[in-house]
Structure 1
Amino acid sequence: MRLAYLSHYFPPESNAPAARVHELSRALVRAGHEVHVVTGQPNHPHGKIYPGYRAAEYRRERVDGIEVHRVPTLPAASRGVLRRGLGYMSLPTSQIALGAARLPAVDLVLATSPQILTGVAGLALARLRRVPFVLEVRDLWPDGIVAVGALKPGHPIVRALEVVESTLYRGAAGVVSVTDSFVDHFVARGVARERIAVVKNGIDTALFAADADPAPLRAQLGIPEGALLLLYCGTIGMAQDVGLLARAAALAGPDDDFHVVVVGHGVGLPALVDEIAALGVGRRVHVLPSVPRRDVPGIIAAADVSAVILRDEPTFARYLPSKIFEAMAMRQPILLGVRGEAQRLVEGSGAGLAFAPGDPADALAKLRAFAALGRDGRARMGEAARAHVLAHHDRDRQAEDLGRFLARIARSRS
């Protein structure tokens, strides 16, 4: 099978969407499929084109056997509504035009959302090529926009995005979901269950090896060896309530021997830095810049517990953040502030402790519980976490499931 895979992100960008597309595509190539990724020039998260790339060029490269087609891109950082909107619209336009002109004949077009307009590009390209279109949904749009308070329900933009969402579902021969909880959302909008495949987030077992050398975070930040080190590593955005960790630290007493290390970048970073300063917890809460994906395992290995946090909104109870699986693969217990499917997974597998999202006092109580477990107790939790993720979230096996689903759709339309 030869497929086109449209994505807003791809390495060397190091966020979770880029990793998923790269790792699934690489595994599909290993299984004998030909994958053509159509993406932009790398510029996330700072909205600046990476060295060696040019915004206005078309560029074809081969990455781990994947044919990568980079199309002209208007880079936009996470601030500036107009420029960001233009950036989101320009990339899908380039994906359609250059995809139609430069791609060889394909059996199927797969587009991953967000951004939702990437899905529009995938549908348009599939129609031009007269092949089936499959939509992969990692975040619910526009529900997620409303959940973070960016727009109110009923706003004209929200209504327009709801029309786009419905159009994509109607036009898709298949829908790939990253959680079980999304399935009912799709069915309620007219997608037949037999057209849905669940391929959850997972891990590259070679990259996230449990014996990775730890990064020297303690020496770098002056954190005592005996102190509990809680790590948050990832996007600091509107959906992630990372400031809750600072608020929990503000409630801690002199006998609470823990430090919080936040590694990441995003639109919420300035507010987080301001909140840490306002609460006076800078000696306990440390912020470091984001790192390349290849360095993430060492960062996780340096910590005792990993935090995964989303805002307390009903929409986010359907989400399974990819950070969960990366921590589990590294034998790292999880402090979870997400309800729903994520909580059932973490607690059911014995991989961590959950607190009520939005409640810093409860988060502090769970941190104290982790401290009371000691190294041996946390190690047992970490072993359970890794066993579960290896059994259920290996990216290569997930790619096999995805490949079978896509091949069935391609055959049914041939």
Structure 2
Amino acid sequence: MKVLVISQYYYPEPFKIHEICEELVKRGHEVTVITGQPNYPDGDLIEGFPNQQILNGVEVIRTDIVLRGHNPISLIRNYLSYPRVAKKSIKNLHKEFDIVFVYQLSPVLMIKPALYYKKKYNKKVYVYCLDLWPESLKALKLSENNPIYKLMLKISNSIYQKCDFISATSPAFLDYLSNINQVKQDRLNVVYQHGEKMFLEVEPYKQQEKLNIVFAGNIGKVQDFDCLVNAVTRLPKEKLKQLMITIIGSGSYLDEFKNKVNGNHLNDAFVFTGRKKVEELIPYYNQASLFLLSLEKGSTVGKTIPSKLQTYMSAGRGIIGSIDGATAQIIHDAKAGMTCPAGDDEALSQIILKMLNQENQLEEYSKNSRNYFLNHFTIEKYVDQIEKKMGELL
């Protein structure tokens, strides 16, 4: 197959779409990606990536989008610019494709170039939905009564309904797409995200001097770090000496997060490393006792399955989570850790306290976590599913 991929984000930005494209190339497919200049998550241009290149067998076309910048206005301009410049790139393509695959994060508008290609060439559009719209706007504190929210609901419904098939990351997403976006159920299914196989290189679990709970990823409001700070605040002071929480990443909530840690006099328990390249994470993961997953309570976004789940399982460590829905169920099914309801800082505190004295349990969680990854979340198992669906659509 000749596959045209539409994704506003691509390597070196921290999403898995480049792994999917490269696996498709390994299987003999021809893949071209139309993406933006790399600038996620910090909003500044990541240097060293030309407008057009062949990267591990994938043809990558990078459009001159407005960068995310450091304020809401520039972010909105960024969201609006990609559909426009990607459409121009489509007009300049010199070959025809069999199918269009959209790796849909925020905003939903990134699907529009694919629909343009569909209309022009009568080709199928297959979407992998990782962010729900307009639900994602609730993270910006926009209510359903807000005029912007209502407008985006109409736009989102129109866009999703024009797609030929949508795979979603969790059952909760499926319900939303069906009930809110009014997409027909026979054009929907669930395909869980895969995890990076490179983290199979992480060493087997070994006891650390302190219980080292690691979080790696975007540091935003939706990750609910307030719950974590409140949970640690509840611990007896003598127990804090046995605990280290390593935060790897950057994002819009980082400064406020640090302020809350400082304000609660928890600086000795928290280590902030800043953002790291994916290949730089293995030494940190070697020293991890457990990984942390947390999402805000209440919204459908909070019921998603974050890709960190698969990554953490690949690294072979247990997981503690303040999280609801399918993610908690998978952790329980895998016997890979402990969870409590999202936002329940008292329950999260009790989990941390229990883990401080559960060395044998930590080793068992680690083994179970990696085994579950190998059986369910490899890139091969993921691409098997989307490749099959592409074939059906053709």
Shared fold, TM over 0.5: yes
Q: Which residue number in structure 1 is paired with residue 134 of structure 2?
A: 142
Q: CA deviation at 1:6?
A: 0.8
Contact preservation (8 Å) 1:246, 1:285: no
- Tell me which residue corresponds to 1:218: none
Q: Distance in 1 between matches of 2:202 and 2:233?
A: 33
Structure 2 gaps of 5+ residues are none
Matched, 1:379 2:363: yes
Aligned to 1:155: 146
Whether 2:290 is the aligned partner of 1:305: answer: yes
Q: 8 Å contact 1:176–1:196 — kept in the other structure?
A: yes
CA distances 1:288-345 after superposition (whole Å, capped 9, x unpaired): 2010011223322211010011011241353001111111111111011110111111
Partner Cα distance (1:34, 1:199) in 2 = 22
SS across alignment from 1:209:
helix
- Provide, for residues 30-86 of structure 1, a one-character-per-residue CA deviation record: whole Å limited to 9, x for no partner: 1111111110111112211122347xxxx2111111111111121123x42211111
Please show how residues 206-245 of structure 1 align to structure 2 within 5 Å: 207-212=198-203, 225-245=208-228
One-letter code of the match for 2:118?
A: A
Structure 2 Cα separation of the partners of residues 24 and 203 of structure 1: 11
8 A contact 1:316–1:339 mirrored in 2: no
Aligned equivalent of 1:12: 12
Residues 337, 357 of structure 1: 8 Å contact kept:
yes
Does the C-alpha gap of structure 1 residues 53 and 388 become closer, same or farther in structure 2, counting only changes over 3 Å? closer
Q: What secondary structure sits across from 1:135 in the alignment?
A: strand
Matched residue, 1:22: 18
The residue number in structure 2 matching 1:350 is: 335
Structure 2 counterparts to residues 9-408 of structure 1, below 5 A:
9-13=9-13, 15=14, 18=15, 20-53=16-49, 59-77=51-69, 79-102=70-93, 104-115=95-106, 116-146=108-138, 148-188=139-179, 189-205=181-197, 207-212=198-203, 225-256=208-239, 257-374=242-359, 376-408=360-392
Return structure 1 stretches of 4+ with deviation > 4 angstroms.
Answer: none
Q: In 2, distance between residues paired with 1:276 and 1:361? A: 17
Displacement of 1:251: 1.7
Cα pair distance change 1:112/1:234, threshold 3 Å: same
Task: Tell me, in whole angstroms, the C-alpha distance in 2 between the residues paired with 1:336 and 1:192.
Answer: 33
Gaps of 5+ in 1: 215-223
Q: How many residues align?
A: 389
For residues 132-187 of structure 1, give each alpha carbon's deviation from its aligned partner in whole angstroms, at most 9, with x where no partner exists.
112221011111221x2531112111112111211122211111211122222223
Q: Is the 8 A contact 1:24 1:396 kept in 2?
A: no
Secondary structure, counterpart of 2:238 in structure 1: coil
Secondary structure, aligned partner of 1:202: coil
Q: Could you give the per-residue CA deviations for residues 264-301 of structure 1, whole angstroms, max 9, x where no partner exists? A: 11111111011111111111112120100112233222
Distance 2:196 2:256 in 1: 33
Q: Is the 8 A contact 2:200 2:316 kept in 1?
A: no
Q: Is the 8 A contact 1:337 1:356 kept in 2?
A: yes
C-alpha distance in 2 between matches for 1:125 and 1:190: 23
Shift of 1:346: 0.5
Cα separation, partners in 2 of 1:73 and 1:317, compared to 1, 3 Å: closer
| SS of the residue 1:239 aligns to | helix
- Contact 1:331-1:379 within 8 A present in 2 as well: no
**Partners of 1:127 and 1:319 in 2: how far apart?**
31
Q: TM-score, normalised by structure 2?
A: 0.94
Moved more, 351-360 or 184-193: 184-193
Mapped to 1, the partners of 2:158 and 2:291 lie a distance apart of 39
Q: Secondary structure at the match of 1:145?
A: helix
Asked whether the equivalents of residues 249 and 285 of structure 1 are also in contact (C-alpha less than 8 Å), the reply is no
Cα pair distance change 1:367/1:210, threshold 3 Å: farther
